[in-house]
Amino acid sequence: MDTQHKLVTRDHGLQPILRVSRTRLLRSDLQTHPEFAPVVIPPDAFGPSIPGHHVRLSPNSLVLYRSPRAELYYGTNEVLVPGTVLADPMPLRRPGDSTFVYTQILMQRHELLCVEGMWVGSLFVADFNAVCADEDPKIAAALGAGPAVAARPVLTQAEARALVDQDLGKAQPDLLRDAPKHTP
């Protein structure tokens, strides 16, 4: 995957990739900074074949969370929650003993990408221009001026944990009902 590819997004169809960056973390990195350990989502955690395989996400990856209760609190039934919030109350685990690579995908706007049936946010930085302007003027021009806007409301750790805990106190919410079965 590189800048020659386009990805299918939830809201805007095929969109070009502006940049792909990869960060390799070693076991020693995790020992020093255990908060960087990925969240591992096992198969079927959110329903049949969602995801279809174990999926590792950054604890701060933004995952689409659907819940009627979210609409009550935030005005929409779809919000983005950090992956780390899903690690405790749901049947997920956090490994601490492996080497892995985080892949970050930068697009012209914050997008939702389908990963094994789940919708996960592309790289979201509040001010892309501050991050990219010095590196690549073409990327800065493609991103435009002004602050970035998230694809859905982004909940804080506390807000997300409260919402997920309340939802799981009743029944598991309809997290990703309409996500496609396979990544295009």
Measured between alpha carbons, how far is 31 from 29 in angstroms, rounded to an integer?
A: 5
- Amino acid 87: pLDDT: 64
- Amino acid 4: pLDDT: 86
Measured between alpha carbons, how far is 107 from 92 in angstroms, rounded to an integer?
A: 28
- For residue 177, being part of any structural domain is answered with no
Nearest to 175 by CA among 85, 105, 110, 95: 85
Number of domains in the chain: 1
Average pLDDT of each block of 10 consecutive residues along the chain (184 residues)?
A: 90 94 85 82 81 85 93 96 72 59 91 94 74 61 72 94 83 45 39
The Cβ-side half-sphere exposure at 79, using a 13 Å CA radius, reads 26
DSSP E strands in the chain: the ranges are 6-9, 13-25, 39-41, 55-57, 62-66, 78-82, 100-107, 112-115, 118-121
Q: Is 142 left (phi over 0), alpha (psi -120 to 50) or beta?
A: alpha
Can you spell out the DSSP letters for 139-176?
HHHHH-SS----SSPBPPHHHHHHHHHHHHHH-----S
- Amino acid 113: pLDDT: 97
What sign results for the dihedral spanned by CA atoms 173, 178, 182, 183? negative
- Amino acid 20: pLDDT: 93
- Amino acid 159: pLDDT: 94
The domain in which residue 156 lies consists of: 6-167
- For residue 129, being part of any structural domain is answered with yes
- For residue 174, being part of any structural domain is answered with no
Strand order in the sheet with 112-115: 78-82, 62-66, 118-121, 112-115, 6-9, 13-25, 100-107
- For residue 134, being part of any structural domain is answered with yes
Nearest to 66 by CA among 80, 78, 82: 78
- For residue 120, being part of any structural domain is answered with yes
Encoded tokens for 45: 């955690």
- What is the pairing mode between strands 78-82 and 118-121? unpaired
- For residue 183, being part of any structural domain is answered with no
- Amino acid 96: pLDDT: 52
- For residue 83, being part of any structural domain is answered with yes
- For residue 10, being part of any structural domain is answered with yes
Q: End-to-end distance of the chain based on CA atoms, in angstroms? A: 13
